[in-house]
A and B are shown apart, each in its own frame.
Chain A
Amino acid sequence: MIYVRKIKETRLYRIWECSTIDDVDGDILKQELTTTSNKLSFWKCEDINCLNDTLKAILLSATSVETSFFIWFDDSDVAQYGFSLDPNELGKTAYAGFENLHVNFTGFTYKKIGDMLKALKELPQDKTKSKKISKEDAKKMIKDVIDSGKLNEAALHPNIKDDIDKIRNE
């Protein structure tokens, strides 16, 4: 299993640039690692071959269609850093039938946030565990969802609705 999260590319670069996680800017912690009920939201897939469905689910949980950057951890990373998972909370995505791809990383404490930061810092920089989707590709992926009849309009965030209409009419 792999666990995917959308992240701002430049913030990952800033983490990579630090010699240790002690030097990471405080703003990055707040911007990328803000927990809710001590949880961080991820989306999962069986393996890299079915990554596209997971990316579509994440794209359709957003408030706009833009260039997006994703990172992922695999089961060995989860074991290495001792992350706890809870798959019971369905994801808020408009990709119908894929809500159960959502998984929470749970039990975040000060130390566990540090472990997450370390996991991000140690992600390979050769893009074997990260991927950027251009805006055009994001539109194509969403168009696929629309054409396959799997778009759950009611689950769309209100701010993305106009963007979806434009994609539908392109």
Chain B
Amino acid sequence: MTQADDMDRFLATVEKRAYSVARISVGNSEDALDIVQDAMFALVRRYAAKPEEQWQPLFFRILYNRINDHHRRHASQRRWFSWWPGGGEQEEAQSWESLVADGPTADPAFQTAMDGSIDALEHAVAGLPQRQQEAFLLRSVQGLNVAETAAAMRCSEGSVKTHYSRANKALREQLEDHWT
């Protein structure tokens, strides 16, 4: 089996969950597909020669960089449009996290899908602070262990545990009705 076959197999195993991580985070199916595409292209182009065990943390690092770029672009666009008359004056005071939380509601397809507790959970996850969201999605959706999540987030395992724990606490508080 060639290295290209190995990488194809690796991407096939992570693509669906990577897409889900991106969709929950940005709240838009098309943007999520673009983000997954960018991450795959970057991994294959730049890191194909790296050892296979490094692909996973690299891929999710790239994926989250793309997700963060997306959030920054949207936050920036919102700031620019806020200068126009009626261009969301009330949004100026919103935090970055709350802008992210608004993401899913902007997508009609996402709104249609919001019909159960798992949808409510995804919506709540989208509203978490960036690092908590990252830790939660990589640990729960992607199924990475603490060490793998730490490698992908480029932080200590202790930080991952803290972010993950806080994310769970925040989600429990927000979703008490669904969680019990």
Chain A complexes with chain B: no
B interface residues with partner A (beta carbon < 8 Å): none
